């Protein structure tokens, strides 16, 4: 097919979706697929993957098929497209016979531009023949990493896609994913049989997200403090266990927060109901295990709190990534305690597969390094994924200005005495018993704890027993780990994580060297000024709060009436733009991001009326 004029893409972006500009790589990806080539696109969550196939689908004459793994998401996407006046439909097991028939009729009349299919559907007899009759022109494979057994979300049904390729060798294919290691990327290309695909890899930086890690002291109180900044706005709190989700949710409800728990132990129907309530803003805060998130596209999640330590840095990135897909400033806070790390360590030590143990252990170390570290969070996250952070001007940078470590850099403190106590405690225990012990035991000795093993091994007779009562256990563990990082102590991960003093540590103790370590994570929240500074870095715009609130409640009414989530009517970003520009005339609304022709027609007058009355 012939390539549409470049302006067709921009015009459709504006008219149909109401957006003024493309997100990074969107245009390149669209042009490449429209030129008939296979493409693999790696964009972060919120990068705007859907548009990469939806917009070309509108421009194309024939049918675009989108393969998607989650039934809930298909419905969501189709509803969103219909709101923008794009003819879309889906076929999956959730439809009744009548609904399916109706969709088929529309398909055969050539009324549908975008058809969402589950991979299983492709294998239904006659499906491929039918697609041929329907003039299939383009296939987009969403969540393409599902095809790889190396990915974190392997779905064997995805292998059915091979049949599509075999049947339609000349129909261009687009594979999309937000997560792909080299290995998975290779698998996608191979399994989809992409032909000389061009691969587009966007930056994985999420410029509108802020990262903050604070010590977990009294979690409910801390969560309530964070929530104060978000009256009616959505957020997710991730917990490690099902029981914890229940108890945190219950505690929050007691404090008047509209919260609910979500975990895999709930019956599927109940899970769906809760998810739906969250998506429709009937529940403000979802307290969930990691079972929650994959199936939601809710773009206006304003905060993600980790009550417990995530599994590793990848998981942390994925989970925090569910905040702020709409591009508005959003916040990620982790409540951190080294005892979580200790628990994970015990769990890892019990893994029977040596390779798995090794990998998990390394991942945990990296995670702790990240969590306790004083480097810019953004720089260090991206660095983990092999990317150099670049600021708005495109220059490599070492600070983002919006994370806790950038906003409130941590001081170094004189830790000479602390270090001496720790090092000599390790030495005395070894001298006394002839073997080394783990961090917990060392700290227990310093604290003078009444622990069975201490008595059994006679460690309560050591001069260091009880010598560290001035500090909490968490503080001792923190400094001990810092000494490991500094190379004065070492942990033997292959042997029960026992701790030894390195030769450098010995010298430091002998020479009474001054030792400076970074102070532990600050306990205070961000000051008002710091918060303002942060929002500026995250690209916040000024808007009229009162109008925004009015628009939101108007939107809630419309959404309820139509039975769709509020964000499908308009995103927060769009409402903020309206509350910032305060257009007076109907036609001025055309200039607002997120208002396409269809939505203008549907809601334009109501908005102008609402603005006039304020
Ligand atoms: P992903 O699937 O990559 O996580 P989505 O396709 O869900 O991202 O897009 C995230 C949000 O960004 C959606 O609300 C979408 O409408 C919006 N969006 C996508 N492209 C643009 C753009 N060019 N300008 C403004 N908003 C966009
Ligand atoms: Zn930073």
Domains of the chain (ranges; CATH) run 6-201 (3.40.50.300), 209-407 (3.40.50.300), 412-518 (1.10.10.10), 545-612 (1.10.150.80)
Q: Which of 50-54, 195-199, 348-352 is predicted least confidently?
A: 348-352
294-320 pLDDT per residue, tens: 778 899 999 999 999 998 898 999 999
**Buried residues in 12-32 as b, exposed as e (16+ CB within 10 A):** bbbbbbbbeebbebbbbbbbb
Residue 6: which pLDDT band, with cuts at 50, 70 and 90? low
Structure-model confidence comparison of residues 526 and 248, the more confident one: 248
Nearest-ligand number for the alpha carbon of 42: 1
Find out whether the beta carbon of 297 lies less than 6 Å from any atom of ligand 1: yes
Find out whether the beta carbon of 46 lies less than 6 Å from any atom of ligand 1: yes
Q: How far is the CA of 203 from the centre of ligand 2 (A)?
A: 16
Q: How far is the CA of 562 from the centre of ligand 2 (A)?
A: 42
- Taking the CB of residue 191, how many other CB atoms lie within 10 A of it? 19
Asked whether the predicted pLDDT for residue 342 surpasses 60, the reply is yes
Q: How far is the CA of 544 from the centre of ligand 1 (A)?
A: 24
Beta bridge partners of 414: 516
Beta bridge partners of 396: 390
Find out whether the beta carbon of 76 lies less than 6 Å from any atom of ligand 1: no
Beta bridge partners of 90: 116
pLDDT score at 72:
82
Closest CA to 47 of 68, 61, 26, 62: 26
Residue 525: which pLDDT band, with cuts at 50, 70 and 90? low
pLDDT score at 71:
84
With a CB cutoff of 8 Å and minimum separation 6, the contacts of 451 are 441, 444
Q: How far is the CA of 317 from the centre of ligand 1 (A)?
A: 18
Q: Which of 28-32, 130-134, 493-497 is predicted least confidently?
A: 493-497
Pocket test of ligand 1: the residue of 51, 58, 298 to mutate, having most ligand atoms within 8 Å of its CB, is 51
269-303 pLDDT per residue, tens: 999 999 999 999 999 999 999 989 877 889 999 99
Angle at 108 between CA 105 and CA 114, to 5 degrees: 95
181 token code pair: 């290691």
In this structure, which residue's CA is closest to atom 20 in ligand 1? 48
Find out whether the beta carbon of 204 lies less than 6 Å from any atom of ligand 1: no
Would you give the end-to-end CA distance of the chain in angstroms? 51
Pocket test of ligand 1: the residue of 46, 48, 322 to mutate, having most ligand atoms within 8 Å of its CB, is 48
Q: Which atom of ligand 1 is nearest to the CA of 571?
A: 14
Structure-model confidence comparison of residues 2 and 292, the more confident one: 292
- Taking the CB of residue 527, how many other CB atoms lie within 10 A of it? 11
Percent of the chain whose pLDDT exceeds 70: 98
Asked whether the predicted pLDDT for residue 2 surpasses 70, the reply is no
Find out whether the beta carbon of 143 lies less than 6 Å from any atom of ligand 1: no
Closest CA to 365 of 497, 276, 261: 497
3-state secondary structure of 149: coil
pLDDT score at 3:
56
Find out whether the beta carbon of 316 lies less than 6 Å from any atom of ligand 1: no
pLDDT score at 569:
96
pLDDT score at 524:
52
Percent of the chain whose pLDDT exceeds 90: 67
pLDDT score at 535:
83
Find out whether the beta carbon of 12 lies less than 6 Å from any atom of ligand 1: no
Q: Which atom of ligand 1 is nearest to the CA of 21?
A: 23
Q: How far is the CA of 273 from the centre of ligand 1 (A)?
A: 25
27 token code pair: 């245009």
Q: How far is the CA of 204 from the centre of ligand 2 (A)?
A: 15
Angle at 166 between CA 162 and CA 167, to 5 degrees: 115
Give the C-alpha separation, 418 to 483, whole Å: 10
Nearest-ligand number for the alpha carbon of 77: 1
- Taking the CB of residue 544, how many other CB atoms lie within 10 A of it? 17
Strands, sheet with 259-262, edge to edge from the N-terminal-most edge strand:
209-215, 330-336, 301-306, 234-238, 285-288, 259-262
**Average of per-residue pLDDT values in the chain:** 91
Q: Is 480 in contact with 439 (CB distance < 8 Å)?
A: yes
Asked whether the predicted pLDDT for residue 527 surpasses 80, the reply is no
pLDDT score at 369:
82
Pocket test of ligand 1: the residue of 43, 47, 50, 76 to mutate, having most ligand atoms within 8 Å of its CB, is 50
Structure-model confidence comparison of residues 395 and 486, the more confident one: 395
Asked whether the predicted pLDDT for residue 323 surpasses 90, the reply is yes
pLDDT score at 356:
87
Asked whether the predicted pLDDT for residue 23 surpasses 90, the reply is yes
Give the C-alpha separation, 429 to 441, whole Å: 10
Q: Which atom of ligand 1 is nearest to the CA of 50?
A: 6
Q: If you average pLDDT over residues 330-340, what whole number do you get?
A: 90
Asked whether the predicted pLDDT for residue 88 surpasses 70, the reply is yes
Q: Which atom of ligand 1 is nearest to the CA of 142?
A: 2
Report the run of H or E that residue 212 belongs to, with start and end. strand 209-215
Asked whether the predicted pLDDT for residue 520 surpasses 80, the reply is no
Find out whether the beta carbon of 50 lies less than 6 Å from any atom of ligand 1: yes
Q: How far is the CA of 46 from the centre of ligand 1 (A)?
A: 6
Residue 64: which pLDDT band, with cuts at 50, 70 and 90? very high
3-state secondary structure of 261: strand
Asked whether the predicted pLDDT for residue 338 surpasses 90, the reply is no
CA distances from 70 to 77, 297, 339, 541, 585 (A): 11, 11, 36, 34, 41
413-467 pLDDT per residue, tens: 899 999 999 999 999 999 999 999 988 899 999 999 998 999 999 999 999 999 9
Give the C-alpha separation, 590 to 571, whole Å: 15
Beta bridge partners of 176: 41
Give the C-alpha separation, 542 to 214, whole Å: 28
Q: Which range has highest mean pLDDT (215-219, 225-229, 249-253)? A: 249-253
Q: How far is the CA of 51 from the centre of ligand 1 (A)?
A: 7
Find out whether the beta carbon of 565 lies less than 6 Å from any atom of ligand 1: no
Q: Which range has highest mean pLDDT (94-98, 255-259, 588-592)? A: 255-259
Give the C-alpha separation, 266 to 261, whole Å: 9
Give the C-alpha separation, 28 to 325, whole Å: 21
Q: Which atom of ligand 1 is nearest to the CA of 43?
A: 3
Closest CA to 575 of 206, 233, 282, 229: 233
Asked whether the predicted pLDDT for residue 251 surpasses 90, the reply is yes
Asked whether the predicted pLDDT for residue 26 surpasses 60, the reply is yes
pTM to 2 decimal places: 0.82
65 token code pair: 């098929």
3-state secondary structure of 108: helix
pLDDT score at 521:
66
Q: If you average pLDDT over residues 113-128, what whole number do you get?
A: 91
pLDDT score at 522:
61
């Amino acid at each position: 097919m012939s390539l549409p004029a470049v302006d067709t893409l921009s015009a459709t972006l504006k008219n149909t979706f109401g957006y003024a500009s493309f997100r990074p790589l969107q245009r390149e990806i669209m042009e490449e697929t429209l030129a008939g080539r296979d493409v693999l696109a790696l964009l972060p969550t919120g990068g705007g993957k859907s548009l990469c196939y939806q917009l070309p689908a509108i421009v194309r004459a024939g049918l675009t098929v989108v393969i998607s793994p989650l039934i809930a998401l298909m419905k969501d996407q189709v509803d969103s497209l219909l709101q923008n006046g794009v003819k879309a439909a889906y076929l999956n097991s959730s439809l009744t016979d009548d609904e399916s028939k109706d969709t088929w009729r529309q398909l055969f009349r050539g009324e549908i531009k975008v058809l969402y299919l589950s991979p299983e559907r492709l294998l239904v007899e006659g499906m491929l023949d039918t697609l041929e009759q329907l003039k299939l022109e383009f296939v987009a494979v969403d969540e393409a990493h599902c095809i790889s057994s190396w990915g974190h979300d392997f779905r064997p049904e995805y292998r059915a896609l091979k049949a599509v390729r075999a049947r339609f060798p000349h129909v261009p294919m687009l594979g999309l994913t937000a997560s792909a290691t080299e290995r998975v990327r290779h698998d996608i290309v191979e399994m989809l049989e992409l032909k000389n695909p061009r691969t587009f890899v966007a930056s994985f930086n999420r410029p509108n997200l802020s990262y903050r890690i604070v010590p977990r002291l009294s979690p409910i109180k801390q969560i309530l403090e964070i929530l104060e900044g978000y009256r009616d706005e959505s957020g997710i709190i991730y917990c490690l266990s099902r029981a914890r989700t229940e108890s945190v949710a219950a505690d929050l409800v007691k404090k008047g927060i509209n919260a609910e728990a979500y975990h895999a132990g709930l019956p599927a129907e109940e899970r769906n109901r809760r998810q739906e309530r969250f998506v429709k803003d009937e529940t403000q805060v979802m307290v969930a295990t990691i079972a929650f998130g994959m199936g939601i596209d809710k773009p206006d999640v304003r905060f993600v709190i980790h009550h417990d330590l995530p599994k590793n840095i990848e998981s942390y990135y994925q989970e925090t990534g569910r905040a702020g897909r709409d591009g508005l400033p959003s916040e990620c806070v982790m409540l951190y305690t080294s005892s979580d790390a200790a628990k994970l360590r015990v769990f890892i030590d019990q893994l029977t597969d040596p390779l798995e143990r090794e990998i998990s252990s390394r991942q945990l170390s990296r995670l702790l390094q990240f969590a306790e570290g004083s480097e810019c969070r953004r720089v260090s996250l991206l660095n983990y994924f092999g990317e150099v952070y670049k600021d708005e001007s495109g220059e490599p940078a070492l600070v983002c200005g919006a994370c806790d470590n950038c906003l409130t850099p941590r001081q170094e403190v004189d830790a000479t005495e602390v270090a001496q106590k720790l090092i000599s405690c390790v030495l005395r225990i070894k001298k006394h018993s002839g073997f080394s012990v783990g961090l917990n035991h060392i700290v227990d000795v310093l604290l003078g704890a009444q622990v069975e093993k201490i008595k059994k091994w006679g460690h309560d007779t050591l001069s260091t027993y009880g010598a560290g009562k001035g500090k909490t256990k968490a503080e001792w563990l923190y400094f001990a780990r810092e000494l490991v990082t500094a190379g004065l102590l070492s942990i033997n991960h292959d042997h029960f994580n026992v701790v030894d003093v390195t030769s450098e540590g010995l010298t430091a103790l002998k020479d009474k060297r001054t030792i400076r370590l970074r102070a532990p994570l600050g306990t205070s929240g961000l000051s008002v000024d710091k918060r303002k500074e942060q929002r500026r870095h995250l690209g916040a715009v000024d808007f009229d709060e009162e109008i925004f609130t009015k628009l939101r409640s108007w939107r809630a009414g419309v959404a309820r009436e139509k039975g769709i989530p509020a964000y499908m009517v308009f995103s927060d970003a769009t409402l903020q733009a309206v509350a910032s520009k305060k257009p007076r005339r109907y036609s001025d609304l055309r200039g607002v991001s997120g208002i396409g022709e269809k939505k203008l027609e549907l809601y334009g007058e109501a908005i102008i009326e609402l603005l006039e009355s304020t």
